[in-house]
Amino acid sequence: MDLEAEIAKLKRELNAVILAHYYQEGEIQDVADFVGDSLALAQQAEQTKADVIVFCGVHFMAETAKILNPEKLVLLPDLEAGCSLSDRCPPDRFKAFKAQHPDAFVVTYVNSSAAVKAMSDVICTSSNAAKMVAKAPKDRPILFAPDQHLGRYVARQTGRELLLWPGSCIVHEIFSEKRLVQLKVEHPDAEVVAHPECEEAVLRHADFIGSTKQILDRTVESPKQKFIVVTEAGILHQMQQKAPHKTFIPAPPDNGCACNECPHMKRNTLEKLHRCMKDRTPRLDMPPALAQAAYAPLKRMLEWSK
C-alpha cells in the first residue's frame, strides 16, 4: 500500500491537518502539513481551520492542541508517546511543591501534563521561556517547572532567581561533555548548536543555544559549513533538506547507544499515523473542566509571545 497517498486521501476526507514535531521520523515530517517546534505547533493548532488535528508528536503536545481546540477531534498515532519531563512532574507532587511557595508566580514549561499546566500562571516553551520569565511580576518569587536545565539557562539569561523543579529530559541529559569536547577537537571548524534542555556543563561548549526551530534557522543562516548538533537527532532531517551542502554531526551520547533519539517521539510511525487516521483513534480526550483550567495560562503564553 502507498501509505503516503492513503494518508493524503484520508486527510482530504477528514478535513484534517497533520502537525509534526522536528523529532519525528523523516517520513512522518515529509507527509505533515506543518513541521515545527513546540511553540509553532501550538500556534498552528490555535489557528487551524481543519476539523481534525492529527498530532505527530508526544502526548503533552496533542493535549496542548486539545486545550486550544476542545471541540475538535485530536488524533495521536500512539497514545503512549509520553515525555520524561512531563512524567517526572506528577500533578499531586507539583501541587505540594506549589503549596510551599503560596505567593509564587508559576512559569511552566509546555512539556508538562494538562493538570500541571492548570496550576500555572503562564506556560513557556524553549523558544520563549526567557521572555515569559522576564514578564513575570517583579515583586513575586518565580517557580519554574519541570526542566531544571532550561530553568537554570533562563535564570542566567534574565537575571531572575527561579525556584526550580528538579526535572530533566532523558535524551538531553545523556549528552556527554567529554565526548562533545573530543568532537570539537576533531572538528575545530564546526559550530556547536544545542538545545537548552542540555546540562549546563554541555551548554558551556555551545556557540548557539535555542529551541529546535531556532537551532534549525541558525544552521541555515550561519556562514559555517559544519555543525555539531546537540539535541534529538530527528532535527537533522530538516537541516539536511534546508542546507544540503552543509555537514551535520549529531552529538554523541554518553555510552554509544542511540539515546540521542527520543523513545517517546519515535513511538509514532507512518503505519500508526495511517491507522489512526483510518480508524479515527487513538484520540486525545480530556475532561472539559481540565481543558478550561489549562487554557488561561496557555493563552497567556500565546498572547505574550506576539
- Distance in angstroms (rounded) separating the CA atoms of residues 146 and 56: 22
Shorter beta-carbon distance to ligand SF4: residue 84 or 113 = 84
Shorter beta-carbon distance to ligand SF4: residue 121 or 197 = 197
Minimum distance from residue 129 beta carbon to ligand 13P (Å): 9
User: Binding to ligand 13P by residue 125, rule CB under 6 A?
Assistant: yes
User: Binding to ligand 13P by residue 148, rule CB under 6 A?
Assistant: no
User: Binding to ligand 13P by residue 84, rule CB under 6 A?
Assistant: no
User: Binding to ligand SF4 by residue 213, rule CB under 6 A?
Assistant: no
Shorter beta-carbon distance to ligand SF4: residue 105 or 197 = 197
Shorter beta-carbon distance to ligand 13P: residue 111 or 113 = 111
Name the binder of 170 from ligand 13P, ligand SF4, none, CB < 5-8 A by kind.
ligand SF4
Minimum distance from residue 173 beta carbon to ligand SF4 (Å): 9
Cis before 282? omega within 30 = yes
Number of residues that bind ligand 13P (CB under 6 A): 11
Name the binder of 69 from ligand SF4, ligand 13P, none, CB < 5-8 A by kind.
none
